[in-house]
């Protein structure tokens, strides 16, 4: 199990889906949860960075676990998830700020997640409210969801499964952002450009007028 934590953590960082100390992951085994430690670097996980806690609140190790433990617990209690990956894909976060759901436009994205709902708790990070809303979302057919302005939560049968969907979501978000950029209305008329052949006069106004009154001398 540790090797899977290490592999997925490294892949998340290499793909730019988390920052140096961002994101968290967990696996459920019966009434136990194995979750990354608070402040751990997912790209450099060690044995002591995987914390074992109970599914129920009040475990002595709760303080060592990721601050998002409350959210992971709520998701496990509200769904059949066996693993959770929480990441911070930039483009998906940007879309979550403006949209109520993310609808992939690419074939692969639609294969994994036809719709990604966006939940909007008052406290986006490590809140019981976020956990309740995500638990409700994952109790249906959704595999991925976004917390507005914060990040993605994806469930799976194992960490690699959840990572696969996280990666697909991030790619779909990039495609949506690219589409928004290339489908902007094109201006009907281009801005007027100065004629490069038309030289501006450097002679102040009034100078040269006397020359008109002076007789023309042939040479």
Q: Which CATH number does the domain housing residue 104 bear?
A: 3.40.225.10
The per-residue pLDDT for 187 is 53
Burial 136-169 (b: 16+ CB within 10 A, else e): bbbeeebbbbbbbebbbbbbbeebebbbbbbbbb
Q: What residue ranges of the chain have pLDDT lower than 50? A: 186, 190, 209-212, 214, 216-219
Q: What is the DSSP letter of 88?
A: -
* Position 204 in a domain: no
The per-residue pLDDT for 91 is 98
The per-residue pLDDT for 98 is 96
The per-residue pLDDT for 183 is 76
Count how many domains the chain has: 1
Q: Which of 92, 82, 83, 129 is nearest to 113 (CA)?
A: 92
Helices 69-78 and 128-138, interaxial angle, to 10°? 30
The per-residue pLDDT for 194 is 57
* Position 109 in a domain: yes
* Position 185 in a domain: no
The per-residue pLDDT for 186 is 47
pTM over cut 0.75: yes
* Position 209 in a domain: no
Query: Alpha carbon of 79 to those of 35, 132, 133, 168: distances in Å?
Result: 17, 11, 12, 21
* Position 12 in a domain: yes
- Domain residues for the domain of 15 are 2-180
The per-residue pLDDT for 170 is 98
* Position 214 in a domain: no
* Position 198 in a domain: no
* Position 115 in a domain: yes
């Amino acid at each position: 199990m540790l090797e899977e934590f290490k592999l997925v953590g490294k892949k998340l960082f290499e793909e730019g889906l988390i920052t140096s100390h961002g994101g968290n992951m967990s696996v459920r085994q019966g009434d136990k949860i194995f979750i990354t430690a608070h402040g751990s670097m997912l790209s450099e996980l060690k044995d002591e960075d995987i914390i074992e806690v109970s599914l129920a609140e009040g475990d002595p190790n709760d303080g060592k676990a990721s601050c998002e433990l409350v959210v992971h617990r709520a998701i496990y209690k509200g769904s059949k998830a066996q693993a959770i990956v929480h990441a911070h894909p930039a483009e998906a976060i940007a879309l979550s700020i403006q949209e109520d759901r993310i609808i992939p436009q690419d074939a692969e994205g639609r294969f994994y997640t036809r719709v990604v709902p966006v939940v909007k708790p008052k406290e986006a990070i490590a809140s019981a409210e976020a956990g309740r809303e995500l638990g409700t979302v994952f109790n249906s057919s959704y595999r991925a969801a976004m917390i507005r302005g914060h990040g993605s939560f994806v469930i799976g049968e194992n960490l690699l499964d959840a990572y696969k969907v996280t990666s697909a979501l991030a790619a779909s978000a990039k495609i949506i952002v690219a589409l928004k950029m290339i489908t902007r209305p094109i201006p009907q008329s281009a801005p007027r450009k100065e004629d490069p052949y038309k030289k501006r006069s450097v002679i102040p106004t009034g100078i040269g007028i006397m020359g008109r009154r002076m007789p023309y001398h042939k040479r």
